[in-house]
Each structure stands twice: as structure tokens, then as C-alpha cells.
Amino acid sequence: MKALILVGGYGTRLRPLTLSKPKPMVEFANKAMVVRQIEELKKSGVSIIILAVNYRSNVMEKFLKDYEKLLDVKIIVSEENESLGTAGPLALARDILQSDDEPFFVLNSDVVCNFPFDKLLQFHKSHGKEGTILVTKVPNPSAYGVIVSKSNGEIIQFVEKPSVYVSNRINAGIYIFETSILKRIELKPTSIEKEVFPFMAHDKELYCMDLDGFWMDIGQPKDYLTGLALYLDHLQKTASKELSEGPNIIDPVLIDPSAIIGQDCIIGPHVAIGANVLIENGVRISRSCILDGSTIKSYAWIHSSIIGWKSSVGKWCRVNNISVLGEDVTINDEFYINGAKILPHKTISEDIHEPKIIM
């Protein structure tokens, strides 16, 4: 089987992290987003992965070279000269996708869930139509475009931000299609949601399957941290061996084995600490991500924030409110950072009391 991952463009919503790496290479729970998806696809029998890329494709290709061997999959980078939206990349990869008559998966690169690819394939084959959308339920459907379907999953219509309740199911950004869908798509910028799906639904060729469990689009810092909490809760429920334990750890927490944790620290809940991180004595971290090579100095307090690669947070600092430090940021001792987005290679020597971008 094959899968196409919509890697996308500049990752502007996740800046300043994406100023250093393409978004799919940014670690989520100590593993690059795209690697986590490839691993899950491989488990479901996918052997050819196509990455639809229109930004820094050479960096992505070089990064994934080792994973191609490690996971025993073929990874093909399909480079766009212009952004082709969410459907155009299928037309660009047409020759690869239709080389046999097997259905293929399509997914957005910034979606995290329990990835029920096997179940989705089984459901897709059971109805025998052209496409299946994975859907997830949301508490406030008026903020989304929702999907209305019959009890058997056949999609009737799409309703954009309904003012009255018609459904609470939204597109989860994971699909499976027959190769016949490629006849519907031209090689030009095209939205699969607006320019392809409505016609498939009209032809009674599009179904949906409910996702059991958590889901999040982690393409911006607030949702990244929410997704991290949901994912770690999921690992805890499944009694995953990945999770870390210890006297000063409040579950669930994920700590790379190479990280060093000092005395009298309190870590958790919902924290991921990457490789070669140094946490000095008396540090308190909750609902946050500390990326590879960073140092958190003694008695610092970090909540609901992302600390970028090789950054340093000084002694007695307080960092909170969805602050995001880019790569190689230094915060000197005893400063307060509230909701700041700090670009790479900056040194901070003052309090930041209100959310803003530090360039």
C-alpha cells in the first residue's frame, strides 16, 4: 500500500520553531511529527510513503534517508513548484499512486491521534466506494465545517460553521481513497475539501468513519501543547513503556534516557523532555515541552511553554502562558516571560509581561 502525507509549506503558525526546521521535522513527544506518522503507516502495511513538499524539500529528503532504511519503507519526495493546496499534490503524484489498483491513504502532517489505519481500511473496503474520511467529534461544532452523514457513514453534505446544530463531526485530516479519485483532480492548486469532496458526496461515493479516542491538529503552539497532553494521557491509558517514572514525576511524563534531571525537581504532568537536556536542581515543569540540548537552570519554573533546541532558561526564571523559545535562545537569570514568541539566537535580559514576538 501507499500513503501520501501533505507536508505543506512554511509552518508559519508554529514559528519560531519552524524557522529552524520544517514543521514535519519538529519533534512531538520526542519524535519528529512525520516520523511518528510513517511508523504508524508502516505498522498497517504501507511500504511506499510520498511526501508532498513545497518548502525545503532537500532538507526533508536528507533527514528521512536514515528512516527509509530503519523502517524498511520507500520514501518519495514529491516537490511542488507552487503550492497545490490539499488536492493538487495527488495529481502531481498520480503516476505513483495509480501504479496499481490498491487504495491509498492521505493525511495531513500536523495531525496526531491513535491512527486507526487498519480499522479505516477495513471500513473503506466494507462500503466499496471511492473514498472515506476519518471524522472526529467536537464540543463546539459552530466553529468548524461539519460533516452530515447517514447512519451507515454515507456523507450527505458539508456545512460550514453552522449556526444551528446539524452535526458535531469534523474532518480529522486522514483519508483513504481508491485510485479512481485521481480522475477528479487536475494538476493545479485545488482544495480537496471544497472542490473534490462535495462532488464525491453528490455521487454517493464518499463515506466517513468515527475516530475513537483523542485527536488534535498540532500546527500551532496552543494546540501542540494540548495535543501533547492528550497523547501522553493516551500512553498512560495503554500502559506504555515509553513513559517515565520517578519520585518527583507527576504522570504522565516522557523523558529521553539521555536527559539529566537534578535533585528536588518536580516534573509533570504532561511534560516531554528531549535528548541531552539538562534540568538543574529545584526546577518545576508542567504541561511543557523541552526540546533537545536545552538547559533549565536551578529553580526555574516553566508552565505551558515550548523551549526550543539548545536554549537556556536562567536560574529562578518563570516562563509560562504558551511562551515559545526558538533555537539557541538564552534567558538570563531571574526574568519573567509571559506568552512571548522569541526568535532563534536571541538573549533576553528583561521581563516580558505581555504576549509578544521578540525579533
Tens digit of each residue's pLDDT (9 = 90 or more) over 325-353? 999 999 999 999 999 999 999 999 999 99
Grid coordinates of 116: 486507526
Cβ pair 265, 247 in contact under 8 A: no
- Count CB-CB contacts under 10 A for residue 58: 10
Whether 221 shows a pLDDT value over 90: the answer reads: yes
CA distance 289 to 155: 38
pLDDT tens column, 191-220: 888 889 999 999 999 999 999 989 998 989
Does the active-site annotation cover 161? Answer: yes
What pTM, to 2 d.p., does this model score?
0.90
- Of 318, 320, 326, nearest to 358 (Cα)? 326
- Average pLDDT of the chain? 90
Residues 6+ apart with CB under 8 A from 25: 32, 33, 34, 59, 60, 63
- Of 266, 265, 260, nearest to 295 (Cα)? 260
Whether 155 shows a pLDDT value over 80: the answer reads: yes
Domains in the chain, start-ordered, CATH in brackets? 2-217 (3.90.550.10), 228-358 (2.160.10.10)
- Of 277, 275, 250, nearest to 262 (Cα)? 277
Give the pLDDT band (50/70/90) at residue 243. confident
Kindly report the backbone phi and psi dihedral angles of residue 332, in degrees, each rounded to the nearest multiple of 5, phi listed first: -70, 170
- pLDDT, residue 246, reads 78
First to last CA, the chain: 45
pLDDT tens column, 89-139: 888 888 888 888 889 999 998 899 989 999 999 999 999 999 999 999 888
Grid coordinates of 243: 513513559
The catalytic position among 43, 125, 150, 161 is: 161
Q: Which helix (H) or strand (E) holds 260?
A: strand 260-261
**Residues 166, 167, 172, 176, Cα dihedral to 10°:** -90
Cα angle 158, 161, 164 (rounded to 5 degrees) comes to: 95
